[in-house]
Chain A
Amino acid sequence: MPRMGGMSRPDIRQWQPPTEAEPDLVALVARVARGDHQAFELVYGELAGPVYGVVRQVLRDPAQSEEVAQEVLLEVWRTASRFDPARGSAAAWVLTIAHRRAVDRVRSESAGSRREQKAAATEMVPDDVAEVVAATLDHQRVRRCLDGLTELQRESVKLAYYGGYTYPQVAHLLGVALGTVKTRIRDGLIRMRDCMEVTW
């Protein structure tokens, strides 16, 4: 079929969150715990993009990121019965596993040295790679709320979360005291929580 000329770059595949009303992830995870394949495919559709995105943000290397993202999603399948909805949202449960796995991978030495050759700390995975960051409401909102932080809070949160650095490493990179970084990370995150009206 002929392409409508010049409207968008053909090699860019935008990640599109499902357009239906947000499915009830808690109910889906409960079905996954009972071995329901269809429910797992729906959970995959909802969360594979964010899982791969956050892992890639930390690890940078696409092959390694895919490997870790797959481990994370397999872990979701395997441990769905252990998810406790009283302790947080299903998305936070999955993305906590994802970030932690990525960070554990980074902190094992070999992966760390490979990663350091890859990229500088705070810069985000650039928007012009083939897989483009979704221009979702989440994205705009997070960006707006990050803009509301002080410079030091913002850099500390981004280095810790997107960079996967420990707070002593963040302190070193920013040239500030350990106590300052601990405080800025907490204050910055609390401000983000309030700005995004997180209800947990």
Chain B
Amino acid sequence: MKILADDWHVLTGSYALDALPDPERAEFERHLQHCPSCEAEVRGLRETAARLAMAQALQPPPGMEQRVLAAAYRTRQLPPLPPEHLHHRPIPRRMTAFAAAASVAAAVGLGITQVSTQHKLESTQASDAAVTRVVTAPDARIEATSTSAGGSVTVVASTALREAVITSTGMVSLPAGRVYQVWVISPSGARSAGLMAGRSTLLASAVVPGDRIGITVEPAGGTSKPTTTPVAVLPA
């Protein structure tokens, strides 16, 4: 039996509260490695759980401090992990410069699909001029990856402009009532960059190095937080 992405995602809360029984806890931890939106949500919920703990602070028993300090100063500390062991994700393969340039040129040429502003999604009214500004910025970086919904997605980002242009091609058409939604994922969570219908281009603002771009399938109109496993995630 295959566990669906949505079933996994609903476990973020139980995981953050240490309420997953053991085999499931380990499975969910493996799933987290491949689900940036789950991971972002777990972080926020862990912080929330920490507030629940802060609210229950109690005076520790007398003498505990002395016992802890004495034990600590007799205990050797772990050395830092070498950098390659820090949290790393596989870097999506890069497109050839030619293919990337062609796809961006095509996006600019085709103009920008108007993004939905329903539900106050902070969608940007991208203009051709804005997209051109990003893709021609001297510090523009290009990342591309294939998506689990077919096709590929390309991100061109400029640190100086703090903007990123997201272009998709060839992703499967979704049934009525479903839409592709683009997210900017940072340590503080995921925020919507707008909705993508078929082949389209979005402009995301306030994008900083270290952010990632993710695309999920969401109910028509979009949601305020990702609710499914992304079909693609790539660095911004």
Residue total for A at the interface (Cβ-Cβ under 8 A): 83
**Residues of B contacting A136 in the complex (Cβ-Cβ under 8 angstroms):** 54-55, 57
- CB proximity of B138 to chain A, nearest CB, Å: 28
Of all chain B residues, the one with the shortest Cβ separation from A66 is B61
Instruction: Give, as a whole number of angstroms, the nearest-CB distance from A139 to chain B.
Output: 4
Nearest CB to that of B80 among chain A residues?
Answer: A81
Shortest beta-carbon distance from A166 to chain B in Å: 4
Residue of B nearest to A13 (CB): B59
The answer to whether A190 touches B56 (Cβ under 8 A) is: no
Check A49 against B60 for contact (C-beta < 8 Å).
Answer: yes
| Inter-chain contacts of B67 with A (CB < 8 A) | 70
Interchain CB contact under 8 A, A35 and B77: yes
Interface size class of B (residues with CB under 8 A): 35 or more
A66 touches B64 (CB 8 A): yes
Within 8 A of B (CB), among A168-200: 168, 170, 179, 181-183, 185-190, 192-193, 196, 198-200
Residues of A within 8 A of B54 (CB): 50, 91, 95, 136, 138, 142
> Which residues of chain B from 35 to 69 have any CB-CB distance to chain A below 8 Å in the complex?
43-61, 64-65, 67-69
Which residues of chain B come closer than 8 Å to A14, judged between CB atoms? 59
With A50-B54, A162-B56 as known contacts, state yes or no: A200 contacts B14, CB within 8 Å: no
A167 and B81 form a contact (CB under 8 A): no
Question: Which residues on B sit within 8 Å (CB–CB) of A133?
Answer: 55-58
Say yes or no for B78: interface residue by CB 8 A criterion.
yes
Contact bitstring A78-104, B, C-beta under 8 A = 1, else 0: 111110101111011001101110010
- By the criterion CB–CB under 8 Å, are A183 and B10 in contact? yes
In Å, the complex CA distance between A89 and B44 comes to: 10
Asked if B1 is at the interface of the complex by the 8 Å CB criterion, the answer is no
Does A60 lie at the interface of the complex (its beta carbon under 8 Å from any beta carbon of B)?
no
Among the 9-residue stretches B15-23, B95-103, B122-130, the one with 4 or more Cβ atoms under 8 Å from chain A is B15-23
Contacts of A48 in B (CB 8 A): 60, 64-65, 68
Inside 8 A of B72's CB, which chain A residues have their CB? 40, 73-74, 77-78
Residue A148 lies at the interface, judged by CB distance under 8 Å to chain B: no
Determine if A53 and B57 form an interchain contact, defined as CB atoms under 8 angstroms apart.
Answer: yes
CA distance A92 to B47 in the complex (A): 5
A-B contact pairs, 24 of them (CB 8 A): A15-B57, A41-B65, A50-B53, A56-B58, A78-B78, A87-B43, A91-B54, A125-B58, A139-B57, A141-B51, A142-B54, A160-B17, A164-B18, A165-B19, A166-B20, A186-B10, A186-B45, A187-B13, A189-B13, A190-B225, A192-B51, A198-B44, A198-B51, A199-B47
Which residues of B does A touch, CB under 8 Å?
10-14, 16-22, 43-61, 64-65, 67-69, 71-73, 75-81, 86-87, 187-189, 225
Residues of A within 8 A of B (CB): 13-15, 17, 33, 35, 37, 40-41, 44, 48-54, 56-57, 62, 66, 69-70, 73-74, 77-82, 84, 86-89, 91-92, 95-96, 98-100, 103, 107, 124-125, 131-134, 136, 138-139, 141-143, 157, 160-162, 164-168, 170, 179, 181-183, 185-190, 192-193, 196, 198-200
Kindly list 16 other residue pairs between chains A and B, CB separation below 8 angstroms, not including A37-B73, A143-B55, A166-B14: A49-B58, A52-B60, A56-B56, A69-B60, A79-B77, A82-B78, A87-B187, A88-B46, A95-B53, A96-B49, A107-B22, A167-B21, A182-B13, A189-B17, A192-B52, A193-B47
